[in-house]
Structure 1
Amino acid sequence: MGEEPVSGPLGRIALVGTGGTISAWSPATLDLTGYTEAEDQRLTLAELVAAVPDLERVAEVVRIPAEAGPSHALDLAGLLGVAGEVRRARERPGVRGVVVAHGTNTLEELAFLLDLVLGPGTPVVLTAAMRPLSALSGDGPLNLVNAARVALCPAAAGRGALVVVDDAIWSARRVAKTGTAGTGAFGGLGPLGEVDPGGQVRFRFAEEHSAPTLPVTETTPVPRVDVVVSYPGADGALIDAAVAAGARGLVSAGTGAGFPTPAEATALRRAAEAGVVVCQSYRGASGGVRPSARLRADGFVAGQDLSPYKCRVLLALALAAGAGRAGIQDLFDTFGGR
């Protein structure tokens, strides 16, 4: 991929663009939902930067186009490809921070994946938009500028991958897309800080971040891991189907604090006995599943505080790295135990 610097006074960032609503365009300024990310309705990264001239006031930008398109179309291998671009972007001469412009639909998965596979070093900040760039009161331009501000902030170092949307700064472990529309569509267990109206980056909380880096790159084969969500009366058909399809890992999004139905529990034990690593998670908006005698007896991994979808990312990458069940539980305790 090529790179083109754009002059700016405060510091150099690498901007990795993967597409998404932040680069989408519609001929109608009131089109907030009917736009698409078709090739002829999506700006190139150069056009995106040109459309946000204030970005040049806060950073010198090195543009790095990555595989573009709807974020929900990317699989884990595709997300690891983005991670490879970010890893190389951090090595560019003079780069003090990396900003990743991504689609909102899988922003939390990409952020968490980057947190798992990138070592400490140059800050990495992800951002996105809920409204296309052409929209009246679009949120993308300010999100992009604020992400650059955070990426250049010395206090961002050592915090892992961060997400900046709607003025808030989120850690990769805690952020989640909680709404389907509106600029306040992201939530979680609380932001780490914010970018105030004057452009000042303010971190309010310090989150411990000492996670090891998983040795997984874009060339590492990633095994199939499926998520099965529990509901009243669910049987084991979907679990058995996932195993038959070749799943090496399963995440059970159980009711309450991680309870599948009796029929699902039987199917999950059957899967574990066949060598599939089962992670017990929960389907609620907050909480967690802790290690317990019941889970240990069944041979299941406890997903801790992580959502089912982040459990899937961690479980897949852990299996790709060759970790066994005990090592996988250690990883969940490290990444999701707080």
Structure 2
Amino acid sequence: MFSCTDSKNEAAFFTADLADYIVDTLYLEKDTLTRSLPQEFSFFDQNGKSFLFGVVGRRLYQYSYPSGELEGTVDFEKEGPDGIGGFISGSLITEDGIFFISDQKSIIHTDFQGKVLDRFPLPNVPEERLAANFSVVNGNRMYYNKEKKQLILSDVPFVLKEPNMAYEDWIWKYDLENELAEPISFSYPDIYKEHFDDPELGLYSHTFLDTENLHVVSFPMTDSLLVSDRKSTKWVESKSSEPLVFQKGKTKQEGDYVVFLPSMETSRYKWVIFEPMSKLLLRFVSIETEVLEVGGIHNRSSFILHDLNFETIGEVFFDNQQIASSGFATPDGYYFKLLNPGSDDVEEYVRVLFELP
């Protein structure tokens, strides 16, 4: 195992509450057709003005930033020449438009007014993959290179199956100009042979650090991160300071169907977020979850903080039932959505600035 943390850095390790780094709150208006706004937005400067764009299903939201005023919405069609399909498993908002993963068949590129600009077939996968699931689930964001017209996307197993252990082509880099896709390969560690058919403990999460040209893969029970520049691969330590308890999921046969029953109380490592303002990597960990007798859920989660050398700096704690575990970057800091807003008319996003000791 490769570790970038030495004894000097370990001495500087700190723990804190995420709430200690909240500096203010952004309020985004909701219209009467909106039940809930997304956790993630994309920030853009256009003609000297700042905006946030977000997608829920087939609806695009545009907000003025930092006022939070709703500038407009666009509802994308399901069918027809400008239809984006019935099942959207992921989207990415870029300066060049929006990319949707549609019906596990294609990537659809649209403008900001709802017009389809192009359609690209999803990569073909071999039989041993069993069934592709191109998706942004479990923190597997898409990434786009404007200059090269390249898109990076993930094929995420709904549940891990035995044939998947020999499979490697989980991430794909798609050259949109030439319609060529090439895999970015890695393998699951052997320990995951014990966790087939588990929707919680069988899912990886991939993050691409474009400024470093590094691919970072997080596995749910592994206290290290897999880091690759495609020429070499290393494991770097990324371990919670809290004890973790991993609980296997179960399956149940109901007629002709198999029902997957993951443990919702299990500990699990999840995705990695890059926070560009502080140049930190945040590895999300769900430490423990308790289902309360009176109803509701109490959770203890954290972000393990790393610098870009993957040295561990600290760990900040929060309840993922109160504060969302993913968010979005702006030039003013990183925003996380509050999950229990005090009003039906707005949703609240707290701005976090990591001023480290």
Structure (1 or 2) with the greater helix fraction: 1
Same fold by TM-score, threshold 0.5 exceeded? Answer: no
Q: Which has the higher contact order (CA 8 A, sep 6+)?
A: 2
TM-score after normalising by structure 2: 0.26
TM-score after normalising by structure 1: 0.27
